[in-house]
Homo-oligomer: A and B are copies of this chain.
Amino acid sequence: MAQDLKTLTLEELIPGGDTYRYAENLYNLQWWGETCIKPEIDTLFAINPANGKEQVLTTREAVNGVLNANGIKPIQHFYSTSFPWKDKTYMLIQTAGNYLVYDWKGNKVVSSTEYPKEAANQDYNEQSENLAYTIGNNLYINGKQITDEKQGVVCGQSVHRNEFGIGKGTFWNPEGNKLAFYRMDESMVTEYPLVDVTARIAEANTIRYPMAGMESHQVQVGIYNPATEKTLFLNTGDATDRYFTNISWSPDSEKLYLIELNRDQNHAKLCQYNANTGELERVLLEEKHDKYVEPQNPIVFLPWNEKEFIYQSQRDGYNHLYLYNTDGKLIRQITQGAWIVQNLIGFNARTKEAIIASTEDSPLQSNLYRVNIGNGKRAVIGNHEGVHRATLSESGDYLIDTYTSPTTPRNIDIVRLKDNKTQRLLTAANPYDGYQMPVIETGTIKAADGVTDLYYRLIKPADMDTTQKHPAIVYVYGGPHAQMVTNGFLNGARGWDIYMANKGYVMLSVDNRGSSNRGLAFENATFRQLGIEEGKDQVKGAEFLQSLPYVDGSRIGVHGWSFGGHMTTALLLRYPEIYKVGVAGGPVIDWKYYEIMYGERYMDSPESNPEGYELTNLNNEAGKLQGRLLMIHDDHDDTCVPQHALSFIKSCVDARTYPDLFIYPGHKHNVLGRDRVHLHQTITRYFEDHL
């Protein structure tokens, strides 16, 4: 029977491959008030959420006819449209140089806001039609330059290296007539040279990279008023060694809220600033923790009460919702339990419910719930399986539910919240139908602490001869903020895992302590010594492999990238009797070469935790290399700089041990695009050569 099945190639399995296979999708499904909008290339559809009926709103031909008459370049598809005006038949079309407001009913261009080619970080407010963006290191609004900073000072962009949930640098107030923005002075941060070998003569592209223990950048928050053309900076006091995170506006635009954090990251304050004076009015609440606190979510006001907001905290060990008022008084803890609120999706003002995604059903899942703000009562939305992602309608009566499960490549439903009535929009075909596929299982093993359950995913070759011993490869990440084993499609298995299993390797991944979605204690067990406890847990995974009758316990390989590159290297060095071959990509080798924000959260600083940095510095272990280790780094890796791999190579040369090395020129903190197939062929060949 297997003979009839086709064999998957890396080109089919790896994103970027010429014939990459992926589950069908509906892109940029969204809401226009209570109407679901389905954009396609040539046609824009409206779907009635009550019955699933589709109608054509307009066509590309019609729109381009109008655009052409107005001297505007035609659009190529409807995927860059949005519908922020629920009461108007307008759509917003973002083109390469324009935000167009287009009346799809009246067939006319309502307005056009242009931006220059070099603009980045565009932030359009649909109320005021103001457009903020950056050029170089400065901030612009509607063509006007707002800041004029020297090199080394950056305005209007994300700060603190995108930690603390920060993903952008501009924040319009609800009316769009005031813009809060970040200003980051990083002129005191040492420059790191990344060498571009594609220039006629190689050039150093320098980045400001604040390394653990070194001087950090300083951040301010400004508020610009387009009407007065004035910028006010919040009076935060000395910005040295402080993080200004999770900016949000009060509904009345009078206040700006920030969560401020000390450099030690063990003391957070929710601060209310007067948006007119810039003065700190009060600290609404504080959180401390012996290890670290990690605010990642701005406060969100209840749509029906301008004095109450939801604050997210891990203070009871799991991320949950708390209702506070603007006096800083805790009204109630809304959710509770040994599970995590992963996402506050929105509200239904009529039913006074919040809509969330959580792990309540399983740590491997993300399921949708509506939660009564008053009494905490919850009801599932959609089903209790798999991994769900939702987009809520304006009222909160409906949502678009996109989900996968181990056997579901992707289903998309419109769900009516009150009764879970669903309209199916898509049942994606399995992209691997007709191909030979391995067998995928999940389960739990005990962590090295003897108590904690760890989830694993085991992938076995199809029609495996269980009387034969098979080589095994562990794919590992192991760090915070990520999880390898899920109840998503194929349990989160990656294309390369499938490829290797099809080649006869038994593939294992284990989410060790320190990884995400299991709560604070699970995560912070690794504090001040990243990689140590994680490694012990991975050894339990390797022992599990060795216990399997069809695994050759003397032929265990390991591969991972970034934190997983650290783990791979650490496992080969610390457990040479277990791991024979490793491929470590973009590894952290010495945490003192990693950046301040992420690094010091988990490791503290090299000055305050010298023993932890020594213990985890893999340069110190270079002499213990016995197996075969291929280290891969990208020469433009601005997340985990090449100094990690190259310092390790030097340590090995000094210690007379013999790693292998490969460099991908021009790539950042992973090899993406078409070259990703090359990467995985390189990884594959290394295991075939040596395991």
Contact = CB atoms under 8 A, between A and B. Distances in A.
Interface in A636-682: 641-643, 646-647, 649-650, 653-654, 656, 658, 660-666, 675, 677-678, 681-682
A440 interface: no
A198 interface: yes
Interface string A160-200: 00000000000000000000000000000010110101101
Contacts of A656: 677-678, 681
Interface string A196-226: 0110111110100101001000000000000
Contact of A658 (B192, B661, B666, B685): B685
A203 B193 contact: yes
A638 to B, nearest CB: 12
Interface string A371-382: 000000000000
A635 interface: yes
B653 A675 contact: yes
Is the interface on chain A under 10, 10 to 19, 20 to 34, or 35 or more residues? 35 or more
Interface in A596-647: 635, 641-643, 646-647
Contact of A643 (B190, B197, B658, B661): B197
A658 B641 contact: no
A682 B658 contact: yes
A58 B49 CA distance: 107
A72 B51 CA distance: 101
A689 to B, nearest CB: 7
Most interface-central of A198, A593, A678 (chain B CB within 10 A): A678
A689 B630 CA distance: 14
A202 B643 contact: yes
Contacts of A689: 689
B193 A195 contact: yes
B197 A650 contact: yes
A641 B204 CA distance: 14
Nearest to A205: B193
Given A201-B209, A656-B678, A650 B662 contact: no
B663 A649 contact: yes
A13 to B, nearest CB: 15
Contact of A641 (B190, B193, B202, B653): B202
Given A649-B665, A664-B653, A678-B653, A201 B211 contact: yes
Contacts of A681: 656, 658
A665 B678 contact: no
Nearest to A635: B646
Given A193-B195, A193-B202, A193-B203, A665 B685 contact: no
Contacts of A682: 658
Interface string A581-606: 00000000000010000000000000
Contacts of A678: 653, 656, 658
Most interface-central of A202, A203, A204, A214 (chain B CB within 10 A): A202
B646 A663 contact: yes
B202 A192 contact: yes
A3 to B, nearest CB: 29
Nearest to A641: B202
Contacts of A665: 646-647, 649-650, 653
A617 to B, nearest CB: 14
Interface of A: 190, 192-193, 195, 197-198, 200-204, 206, 209, 211, 214, 593, 635, 641-643, 646-647, 649-650, 653-654, 656, 658, 660-666, 675, 677-678, 681-682, 685, 689
22 contacts: A190-B201, A192-B201, A193-B204, A195-B204, A195-B642, A197-B647, A197-B650, A200-B211, A200-B214, A201-B214, A201-B593, A202-B641, A202-B642, A646-B663, A646-B665, A647-B665, A649-B663, A649-B664, A653-B665, A656-B678, A660-B660, A661-B661
Given A653-B665, A660-B660, 18 more contacts: A192-B202, A193-B202, A193-B204, A195-B204, A197-B642, A198-B647, A198-B650, A201-B211, A201-B214, A647-B665, A649-B663, A656-B677, A656-B678, A656-B681, A658-B685, A660-B662, A661-B661, A661-B663
